[in-house]
Structure 1
Amino acid sequence: MKGPAGEDTVVDQDAPPAPPTRQGVVGTTRRRSRLPAWPALLRPRQWVKNLFVLVIPLAVHPAALLHHITPALATLVTFTAASATVYVVNDWLDREQDRLHPVKRHRPLASGRVGPFGALLLGTGCLTVLVVLGARLPPAVQAVTAAYLMLNVAYCLALKNYPLVDVSVIAIGFALRALAGCLAVSAPFNPPLIISVYCACLLMALGKRRHELVAAELREQAAAQRPALTGYSVPLLDQLMVLLLAASLISYELFVLAAPHPHAAVTAVVTMPLAIFALCRYLQLIAMRRVSEEPGRDVLTDIPLVINAVLWLTALTVGRIL
């Protein structure tokens, strides 16, 4: 799917200078991943995104998830293999361009720690795992997984260069994860929840684009590093994020109230403030410039958001069980 950067690093004082860009010479500090080069190419820190495969079924129908935990876990591993394949394809296609980026030049392929042929072998291995595991899943889950893979390959090839299309593909990827998780455990399909997931993830993707615009020293530099940025401005992104916040909350409320449970109204009253806090807190992080190019890591390292997420999922699950 997309190629977020920002690997943990240590400083190498003896590193050679970075290649020049159109704006001059990038800093001479070299960043090395603490992970070995081959695993780092698969971006394991990004795999947490695939937990949507389990979290959404848990929110929709906890009993179904527990009863079908084996296919749910198989779907999780399948999507992890699919996303790892996409990361390898993305870095292989962008390896020359990434060498000119102040952060992405430290990726395994761009830095030369992994060769192009070796990366292709690794990607083929991930694709093999995907096919072997996917063959054991229900046909509907196979179709969603195939759609996810094809959509993200298209993103790597061309779609990431088009404003709004790029972030829409990212958000659709999360919606497909949620849909696959529900299908794997035979949980009821819930359109309002899928729409809410899409809107919330689209908001986060736009927040990342806003960070990239603000962090760029020159607009020309940002456009060179990510062509889609030419179609964005900070005021536009701010307006779109507020719109998506409202759409996500409305869809979520419809999801909770439509549940065939006697305590649906109580669940809505209890969980709605938590959902509002989560989105408002993320907007606060964006406004305070405390987000990076990895929104997922920002969310998982923000203590208030983590506590809020635990409380929300607990309240929603209890409301479904009672």
Structure 2
Amino acid sequence: MLVVPITAGPRAAIPHLATIGLTLLAFLSASSAVYVLNDLRDCEADRLHPVKRLRPLASGRVSVRGALAVLTALLLATVGLLIAVPPLGALVLGGYVVMNIWYTLALKHQPLVDVSVVAAGFVLRVLAGALAAGLTIQPLLLICVYCASVALSLGKRRHELAGLKVTGEKHRPALSAYTVPFLDHMVVLNLVAALICYVATMWQLNAPYGKVGAALSFPFAAFHVTRYLQMLIVERSGGDPVEDLMRDRQMRLNLGLWTAVLASTFLASSL
């Protein structure tokens, strides 16, 4: 997510590659620390989950002491990288860490707030990428990322609610406030909003893609959204969007063609 805004201005980002790299490392370190903290916090609950019980801590392959040592090392690395990145980037990263710690300790149990915080985390990554690359921040791009992230998070909640009839609420208490029909409506609403914001963002980028890029890439964006909904509602997947993308041939092919269209319009505008 952090490199997403760079696609809006690849040439302008070249002089800032070192800063982009440091910011990327800082977010990788911070997000890894958050994941370790989350696993420490939810170790017992994860043992009730058919998939998460296989995680290192929940399965017992890694001890609590070992996890605490890794967490300490990651936090120290994050602090060191905070000093190296620009002030605004450090502020965004600091906000990301504080928000995710709050999420792990309390907010993840608040319905709707939980998915909103997860989505805000992805928005902060995109914002940090734009700041590191010295690019103008596109508000519609941030809204697009937010809505898409909310949709994917709600999709994961739907997958858990539909598949974990016995242990679901024990594993994630916030699930008790959701129903499958409600989540279906909210996923569709947010994906449509994300699609509209994507097209509007592309339309505003006269360079390097322009309106032709927006028009040509729209069918691929729409297909991606439609295929995800089919997998979520009809095929009852959606528990891991990244895994779904990697294993689904249609989505991989569509993503490849989508990327090729954007690259072609960028190259054509450069001639």
Q: TM-score scaled to structure 1, two decimals?
A: 0.78
Shift in alpha-carbon separation, 1:280–1:133, aligned structure 2, 3 A: same
Matched, 1:178 2:129: no
Shift in alpha-carbon separation, 1:102–1:257, aligned structure 2, 3 A: closer
Corresponding residue for residue 21 of structure 2:
73
**Runs of 4 or more above 4 Å deviation:** none
Q: Which structure shows the higher helix fraction?
A: 2
Which runs of no fewer than 5 residues in structure 2 stay unpaired? none
Residues of 1 paired with 2:208 and 2:81: CA distance?
38
Q: 1:206 aligns with which of 131, 154, 166?
A: 154
Corresponding residue for residue 114 of structure 1:
62
Alignment map for 1:1-322 (pairs within 5 Å): 52-54=1-3, 56-218=4-166, 221-261=167-207, 264-320=210-266, 322=269
- Match of 2:205, SS state, is coil
Structure 1 residue 262 displacement after superposition = 8.5
CA contact (8 A) 2:16 2:133 kept: yes
Amino acid at match of 1:125: A
Residues of 1 paired with 2:230 and 2:47: CA distance?
33
The Cα offsets for residues 78-110 of structure 1, whole Å up to 9 and x where unpaired, read as 111111100110111122232333332332222
The Cα offsets for residues 7-66 of structure 1, whole Å up to 9 and x where unpaired, read as xxxxxxxxxxxxxxxxxxxxxxxxxxxxxxxxxxxxxxxxxxxxx112x12321111233
- Match of 2:136, SS state, is coil
Amino acid at match of 2:184: D
Shift in alpha-carbon separation, 1:318–1:95, aligned structure 2, 3 A: same
Shift in alpha-carbon separation, 1:70–1:306, aligned structure 2, 3 A: farther
Matched positions, count? 268
Q: TM-score scaled to structure 2, two decimals?
A: 0.92
Structure 1 residue 290 displacement after superposition = 4.8
Corresponding residue for residue 36 of structure 1:
none
Structure 1 residue 121 displacement after superposition = 1.0
Report the RMSD for the aligned CA atoms in angstroms. Answer: 1.8
CA contact (8 A) 1:245 1:279 kept: yes
